[in-house]
C-alpha cells in the first residue's frame, strides 16, 4: 500500500513537471516562434524598419536629387529620391509582409495581397519642397486593416524626427507621447491645408478655404500632407483639411491624429477623390459642420474656450 502511494505521488509530481514544461514550451513557441503574434506590434515594427530604410535613401540625396520625370504639372516631380526611397520601403515590406497588399505612389509600386492588410506608402511626401530646398517633406508609411487605418509612421528626415502610432497604443514623436491641441475658439484655430497640382482643383480648394478664413480661422500650408497631419497630432496646429488626396498621402497621418486624441473624416473634392479633415475633436467638429453648410458667407461660430 505504502509503495503504491509512493508511486502515485511520484507520478503526480512528474506529471505536474511534464505539464509545466509543455506549457513553457508552448508559451515560448507562441511568443517567440511566430505561431501567434500581435499583428499590430509586428506591423509597427515593420513600418519603422521601412521608414529607417527610406530615411537613409532620402538623407543621401538632400540637396542633390536627380529629376527623373515630371507628371501632370510643372511642379509635380519624380526624382531619384522618390524612387530610391520607394524601393527601400518595398524591399522591407515585401520581405516581411509578403501577403499584404501595397498601394505606393511611384510607378510599379502597387501589388496585390490576400491578408486583409493594405500598405499605403508615399516614399517622399513633398517632392516639390525637397527639390526646391523648402524644409517640409517626409516619407509616409501607413497600414489599413480591413479598410481601417491602424499603423502610421512619418519620418521627417531633415529635422531628425520619427512620428509613429498604432491602434490603441498612442502616438509618439521619437518616443515622446503626442497630444492634439486643447479645444480652442475658432478664432484661435490654426488650420493647415494643401493644394492640388492641377489649377482647376486648386481653385475649388481655395474657395472652400476662403469660406473658413472668412469665419476667422488662421491658415498655414506646408506642402507635405503627412507632416501637416503630424503637426495636428502634436498640437502644433489644430486641424488639417485637404480634398483630392490619395490614400498614401493621409493614412499614416490619420493614425497619428486619432492616437493623439483627435478625430478625422474624409473630405471629398469635386472630383470625388478622397481627402481628409483631421483635427482636435473641437476643431474637427466645428470645421466639419461649416463644410456641411453650403452657406455663403460661412457663419462665424461663437467664440469661447
Ligand atoms: C503632395 C503633398 C502636398 C499636398 C499635395 C500632395 P507629393 O504630395 O502632400 O502637401 O498638398 O496634394 O500631392 O506629390 O509631394 O507626394
Ligand atoms: Ca504625397
Ligand atoms: Ca510623393
Q: pLDDT digit string (tens) for 184-241?
A: 999 999 999 999 988 888 998 999 999 999 999 999 999 999 999 999 999 999 999 9
- The pLDDT of residue 23 is 41
pLDDT of the residue at 9? 57
* Distance, CA of 254 to CA of 241 (rounded, Å): 12
Separation CA 140–CA 152 (nearest Å): 8
Ligand 2 centroid, distance to 139 Cα (angstroms): 9
- Number of residues in the chain: 305
Cα 72 from chain centroid? 25
Residue bearing cell 499590430:
40
User: Is residue 171 over pLDDT 90?
Assistant: yes
**Residue 211: CB within 6 Å of ligand 1?**
no
For residues 93 and 44, what is the distance between their CA atoms, to the nearest angstrom? 11
Q: How far apart are the first and last CA of the chain?
A: 83
Inter-CA distances, 249 with 125, 187, 277, 299, Å = 7, 28, 13, 30
Which has the higher per-residue pLDDT, 65 or 167? 167
Three-state secondary structure call for residue 157: coil
Supply 55's cell numbers: 530615411
* Cβ of 192 less than 6 Å from ligand 1: no
Span 112-141, average pLDDT: 96
Residue 129: nearest ligand to its CA? 1
Burial class for 114, CB neighbours closer than 10 Å (0-12, 13-18, 19+): exposed
More confident residue, 266 or 52: 52
Amino acid at each position: 500500500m505504502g509503495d503504491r502511494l509512493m508511486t502515485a505521488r511520484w507520478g503526480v509530481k512528474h506529471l505536474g513537471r511534464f505539464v509545466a514544461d509543455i506549457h513553457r514550451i508552448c508559451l515560448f513557441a507562441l511568443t517567440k516562434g511566430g505561431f501567434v503574434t500581435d499583428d499590430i506590434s509586428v506591423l509597427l515594427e515593420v513600418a519603422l524598419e521601412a521608414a529607417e530604410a527610406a530615411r537613409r535613401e532620402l538623407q543621401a540625396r538632400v540637396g542633390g536629387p536627380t529629376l527623373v520625370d515630371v507628371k501632370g504639372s510643372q511642379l509635380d516631380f519624380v526624382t531619384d529620391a522618390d524612387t530610391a526611397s520607394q524601393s527601400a520601403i518595398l524591399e522591407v515590406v515585401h520581405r516581411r509582409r509578403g501577403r499584404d497588399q501595397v498601394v505606393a505612389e511611384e510607378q510599379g509600386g502597387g501589388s496585390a495581397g490576400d491578408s486583409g492588410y493594405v500598405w499605403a506608402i508615399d516614399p517622399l511626401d513633398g517632392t516639390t519642397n525637397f527639390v526646391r530646398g523648402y524644409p517640409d517633406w517626409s516619407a509616409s508609411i501607413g497600414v489599413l486593416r480591413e479598410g481601417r487605418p491602424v499603423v502610421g509612421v512619418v519620418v521627417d528626415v531633415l529635422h531628425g524626427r520619427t512620428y509613429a502610432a498604432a491602434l490603441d497604443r498612442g502616438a509618439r514623436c521619437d518616443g515622446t507621447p503626442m497630444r492634439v491641441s486643447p479645444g480652442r475658439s475658432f478664432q484661435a484655430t490654426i488650420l493647415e491645408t494643401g493644394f492640388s497640382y492641377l489649377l482647376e482643383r486648386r481653385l475649388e480648394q481655395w474657395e472652400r478655404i476662403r469660406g473658413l478664413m472668412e469665419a476667422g480661422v488662421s491658415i498655414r500650408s506646408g506642402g507635405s500632407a503627412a507632416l501637416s497631419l503630424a503637426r495636428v497630432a502634436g498640437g502644433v496646429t489644430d486641424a488639417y483639411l485637404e480634398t483630392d488626396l490619395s490614400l498614401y498621402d493621409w493614412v499614416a497621418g490619420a493614425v497619428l491624429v486619432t492616437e493623439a486624441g483627435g478625430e478625422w473624416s474624409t473630405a471629398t473634392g469635386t472630383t470625388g477623390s478622397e481627402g481628409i479633415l483631421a483635427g482636435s475633436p473641437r476643431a474637427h467638429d466645428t470645421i466639419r459642420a461649416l463644410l456641411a453648410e453650403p452657406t455663403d458667407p460661412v457663419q462665424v461660430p461663437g467664440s469661447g474656450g
